[in-house]
A and B are shown apart, each in its own frame.
Chain A
Protein backbone atom coordinates (compact mmCIF):
# COMPACT_ATOMS: atom_id res chain seq x y z
CA UNK A 1 0.00 0.00 0.00
CA UNK A 2 1.46 3.36 -1.01
CA UNK A 3 2.18 5.83 1.76
CA UNK A 4 1.23 9.47 2.06
CA UNK A 5 2.66 11.58 -0.74
CA UNK A 6 3.23 15.31 -0.73
CA UNK A 7 4.13 17.61 -3.58
CA UNK A 8 6.24 19.52 -4.10
CA UNK A 9 9.01 18.45 -1.71
CA UNK A 10 10.75 21.81 -1.82
CA UNK A 11 9.49 25.28 -2.64
CA UNK A 12 11.01 28.74 -2.60
CA UNK A 13 8.72 31.77 -2.67
CA UNK A 14 9.02 35.47 -1.93
CA UNK A 15 7.07 37.52 0.55
CA UNK A 16 3.58 38.40 -0.59
CA UNK A 17 3.22 35.45 -2.92
CA UNK A 18 0.83 32.60 -2.36
CA UNK A 19 1.49 28.87 -2.41
CA UNK A 20 -0.51 25.65 -2.75
CA UNK A 21 0.70 22.37 -1.33
CA UNK A 22 -0.79 18.99 -2.17
CA UNK A 23 -1.25 15.81 -0.16
CA UNK A 24 -2.46 12.38 -1.27
CA UNK A 25 -3.45 10.17 1.67
CA UNK A 26 -3.10 6.43 2.05
CA UNK A 27 -5.77 4.62 0.07
CA UNK A 28 -8.87 4.20 2.20
CA UNK A 29 -7.98 6.99 4.60
CA UNK A 30 -10.59 9.71 4.75
CA UNK A 31 -8.96 12.13 7.16
CA UNK A 32 -6.10 14.47 6.27
CA UNK A 33 -4.44 16.72 8.84
CA UNK A 34 -1.91 19.46 8.14
CA UNK A 35 0.91 20.59 10.43
CA UNK A 36 3.55 23.27 10.38
CA UNK A 37 6.90 22.26 11.83
CA UNK A 38 9.60 24.76 12.75
CA UNK A 39 12.72 24.19 14.87
CA UNK A 40 11.93 24.51 18.54
CA UNK A 41 8.17 24.74 18.00
CA UNK A 42 7.40 21.13 17.31
CA UNK A 43 4.36 20.25 15.23
CA UNK A 44 1.70 22.94 15.15
CA UNK A 45 -1.72 21.74 14.02
CA UNK A 46 -3.26 23.68 11.15
CA UNK A 47 -6.48 21.84 10.31
CA UNK A 48 -8.08 18.47 9.65
CA UNK A 49 -10.35 17.53 6.78
CA UNK A 50 -12.67 14.56 6.72
CA UNK A 51 -15.02 13.72 3.87
CA UNK A 52 -14.38 17.10 2.24
CA UNK A 53 -15.28 19.02 5.40
CA UNK A 54 -13.00 20.82 7.80
CA UNK A 55 -13.50 18.93 11.04
CA UNK A 56 -10.92 20.64 13.24
CA UNK A 57 -8.86 23.79 13.13
CA UNK A 58 -5.76 25.09 14.85
CA UNK A 59 -4.86 28.66 15.76
CA UNK A 60 -3.45 29.93 12.50
CA UNK A 61 -4.51 33.12 10.69
CA UNK A 62 -6.97 33.05 7.83
CA UNK A 63 -4.11 33.22 5.32
CA UNK A 64 -3.85 29.48 5.85
CA UNK A 65 -6.65 27.54 4.23
CA UNK A 66 -7.28 24.09 2.91
CA UNK A 67 -9.68 21.87 1.14
CA UNK A 68 -10.29 18.21 0.49
CA UNK A 69 -11.54 16.58 -2.65
CA UNK A 70 -13.90 13.65 -3.08
CA UNK A 71 -10.95 11.26 -3.52
CA UNK A 72 -9.62 12.44 -0.10
CA UNK A 73 -6.68 14.30 -1.63
CA UNK A 74 -6.11 17.58 0.12
CA UNK A 75 -4.55 20.91 -0.68
CA UNK A 76 -3.29 23.62 1.62
CA UNK A 77 -2.99 27.22 0.54
CA UNK A 78 -1.06 30.03 2.15
CA UNK A 79 -1.71 33.53 0.83
CA UNK A 80 0.38 36.67 1.29
CA UNK A 81 3.43 34.75 2.43
CA UNK A 82 5.52 36.09 5.30
CA UNK A 83 9.10 35.25 6.22
CA UNK A 84 7.82 33.43 9.30
CA UNK A 85 5.90 30.99 7.13
CA UNK A 86 9.17 29.26 6.24
CA UNK A 87 8.75 25.76 7.65
CA UNK A 88 8.27 22.10 6.92
CA UNK A 89 4.60 21.47 6.15
CA UNK A 90 3.50 17.96 6.94
CA UNK A 91 0.33 16.22 6.09
CA UNK A 92 -0.91 13.12 7.86
CA UNK A 93 -3.67 10.75 6.90
CA UNK A 94 -5.78 8.50 9.08
CA UNK A 95 -8.91 6.40 8.78
CA UNK A 96 -10.83 9.18 10.48
CA UNK A 97 -12.46 7.02 13.12
CA UNK A 98 -11.96 7.34 16.85
CA UNK A 99 -8.48 5.75 16.66
CA UNK A 100 -6.40 8.66 15.50
CA UNK A 101 -3.27 6.88 14.30
CA UNK A 102 -1.85 9.36 11.84
CA UNK A 103 0.59 8.48 9.08
CA UNK A 104 2.77 11.26 7.77
CA UNK A 105 4.08 12.20 4.37
CA UNK A 106 7.66 13.39 3.84
CA UNK A 107 6.64 17.03 4.02
CA UNK A 108 7.07 20.10 1.85
CA UNK A 109 9.95 22.38 2.79
CA UNK A 110 8.79 25.95 2.15
CA UNK A 111 11.31 28.77 2.17
CA UNK A 112 10.05 32.35 2.00
CA UNK A 113 12.60 34.95 0.96
Chain B
Protein backbone atom coordinates (compact mmCIF):
# COMPACT_ATOMS: atom_id res chain seq x y z
CA UNK B 1 0.00 0.00 0.00
CA UNK B 2 0.87 3.67 -0.17
CA UNK B 3 3.47 4.76 2.37
CA UNK B 4 5.31 7.84 3.42
CA UNK B 5 9.07 8.17 3.19
CA UNK B 6 10.24 8.45 6.78
CA UNK B 7 13.87 9.03 7.66
CA UNK B 8 16.15 8.15 9.18
CA UNK B 9 15.21 4.51 9.59
CA UNK B 10 17.12 4.30 12.87
CA UNK B 11 19.17 6.50 15.15
CA UNK B 12 21.55 5.79 18.00
CA UNK B 13 22.35 8.86 20.07
CA UNK B 14 23.81 9.91 23.40
CA UNK B 15 21.56 11.09 26.20
CA UNK B 16 21.18 14.86 26.06
CA UNK B 17 21.47 15.13 22.28
CA UNK B 18 18.77 16.59 20.09
CA UNK B 19 17.03 14.39 17.52
CA UNK B 20 15.38 15.23 14.23
CA UNK B 21 13.34 13.00 11.94
CA UNK B 22 11.11 13.73 8.98
CA UNK B 23 8.49 12.38 6.64
CA UNK B 24 7.88 13.26 3.02
CA UNK B 25 5.06 12.41 0.68
CA UNK B 26 4.35 12.76 -3.01
CA UNK B 27 0.78 13.73 -2.09
CA UNK B 28 -0.55 16.77 -0.33
CA UNK B 29 -1.90 16.11 3.14
CA UNK B 30 -4.17 18.18 5.34
CA UNK B 31 -3.24 16.36 8.55
CA UNK B 32 0.06 15.11 9.95
CA UNK B 33 0.23 12.98 13.09
CA UNK B 34 3.27 11.82 15.02
CA UNK B 35 3.16 8.71 17.21
CA UNK B 36 5.59 6.84 19.46
CA UNK B 37 5.44 3.10 20.00
CA UNK B 38 7.07 1.29 22.89
CA UNK B 39 7.85 -2.44 22.59
CA UNK B 40 4.75 -4.58 22.96
CA UNK B 41 2.39 -1.62 23.04
CA UNK B 42 0.24 0.31 20.62
CA UNK B 43 1.38 3.67 19.21
CA UNK B 44 0.70 6.73 21.35
CA UNK B 45 -0.24 10.03 19.74
CA UNK B 46 2.38 12.71 20.41
CA UNK B 47 1.44 15.66 18.22
CA UNK B 48 -1.28 16.44 15.66
CA UNK B 49 -0.85 19.11 12.96
CA UNK B 50 -3.67 20.53 10.85
CA UNK B 51 -2.35 23.65 9.10
CA UNK B 52 0.49 24.18 6.65
CA UNK B 53 3.36 25.89 8.46
CA UNK B 54 1.98 25.00 11.88
CA UNK B 55 4.62 24.47 14.56
CA UNK B 56 3.45 22.63 17.69
CA UNK B 57 5.28 21.59 20.83
CA UNK B 58 4.59 18.94 23.43
CA UNK B 59 7.21 19.22 26.16
CA UNK B 60 10.59 18.48 24.59
CA UNK B 61 8.94 17.49 21.31
CA UNK B 62 8.33 19.92 18.47
CA UNK B 63 6.71 19.08 15.13
CA UNK B 64 6.05 21.16 12.05
CA UNK B 65 3.65 20.83 9.15
CA UNK B 66 5.64 21.71 6.02
CA UNK B 67 4.41 24.66 3.98
CA UNK B 68 4.25 22.52 0.83
CA UNK B 69 1.92 20.18 2.78
CA UNK B 70 4.05 17.27 1.59
CA UNK B 71 6.34 16.95 4.57
CA UNK B 72 6.60 17.14 8.33
CA UNK B 73 9.39 16.88 10.86
CA UNK B 74 9.66 15.97 14.52
CA UNK B 75 12.39 17.24 16.82
CA UNK B 76 13.21 15.91 20.28
CA UNK B 77 15.41 18.11 22.40
CA UNK B 78 17.73 16.95 25.19
CA UNK B 79 16.92 13.26 24.73
CA UNK B 80 16.54 10.97 27.73
CA UNK B 81 16.52 7.16 27.97
CA UNK B 82 12.72 6.94 28.03
CA UNK B 83 12.63 8.48 24.53
CA UNK B 84 13.68 5.07 23.23
CA UNK B 85 11.09 3.59 20.89
CA UNK B 86 9.80 3.73 17.34
CA UNK B 87 8.41 7.01 16.06
CA UNK B 88 5.82 6.97 13.28
CA UNK B 89 4.44 9.71 11.13
CA UNK B 90 1.01 9.47 9.55
CA UNK B 91 -0.65 11.71 7.01
CA UNK B 92 -4.20 12.13 5.80
CA UNK B 93 -5.43 13.82 2.63
CA UNK B 94 -8.71 15.67 2.39
CA UNK B 95 -10.49 13.15 0.22
CA UNK B 96 -9.77 9.94 2.02
CA UNK B 97 -10.05 9.29 5.72
CA UNK B 98 -7.34 6.64 5.60
CA UNK B 99 -4.13 7.51 7.38
CA UNK B 100 -0.97 6.81 5.39
CA UNK B 101 1.89 5.66 7.59
CA UNK B 102 5.66 5.93 7.50
CA UNK B 103 7.73 2.84 8.30
CA UNK B 104 9.03 4.37 11.51
CA UNK B 105 12.25 5.72 12.97
CA UNK B 106 13.78 3.52 15.64
CA UNK B 107 15.48 5.61 18.32
CA UNK B 108 18.06 4.26 20.77
CA UNK B 109 19.49 6.50 23.50
CA UNK B 110 22.75 5.69 25.20
CA UNK B 111 22.66 6.87 28.85
Interface of A with B (CB < 8 Å)? Answer: 4, 33, 40-45, 48, 55-56, 58-59, 90, 92, 99-107, 109
Instruction: List 3 tightest A-B contacts by C-beta distance, closest first.
Output: A104-B42, A42-B103, A43-B101
CB<8 Å pairs between A and B, sample of 25: A40-B103, A42-B88, A42-B102, A43-B101, A44-B1, A45-B99, A48-B97, A48-B98, A55-B97, A56-B98, A59-B1, A90-B42, A99-B31, A99-B48, A99-B50, A100-B31, A100-B99, A102-B45, A102-B99, A103-B45, A104-B35, A104-B43, A104-B44, A107-B40, A109-B40
Residues on B with beta carbons closer than 8 Å to the beta carbon of A92:
42
Query: How far does the Cβ of B109 sit from chain A's closest Cβ, in whole Å?
Result: 21
* Band of interface residues on B: 20 to 34
User: Do B98 and A45 touch (CB < 8 A)?
Assistant: yes
Q: How many A-B residue pairs have CB under 8 A?
A: 58
> What separation, in Å, do the CA atoms of A33 and B92 have in the docked complex?
14
User: Do B42 and A4 touch (CB < 8 A)?
Assistant: yes
Residues on A with beta carbons closer than 8 Å to the beta carbon of B90:
43
Among A56, A90, A102, point to the contact of B96 (Cβ < 8 A): A56
The residue in chain B whose Cβ has the minimal distance to the Cβ of A47 is B98
Residues on B with beta carbons closer than 8 Å to the beta carbon of A58:
1, 98
> What separation, in Å, do the CA atoms of A70 and B38 have in the docked complex?
32
Residues on A with beta carbons closer than 8 Å to the beta carbon of B31:
99-100
User: Do A56 and B42 touch (CB < 8 A)?
Assistant: no
Q: Please tell me if B14 contacts chain A, counting CB pairs below 8 Å.
A: no
User: Do B41 and A107 touch (CB < 8 A)?
Assistant: yes
Residues on B with beta carbons closer than 8 Å to the beta carbon of A48:
97-98
Query: How far does the Cβ of A106 sit from chain B's closest Cβ, in whole Å?
Result: 5
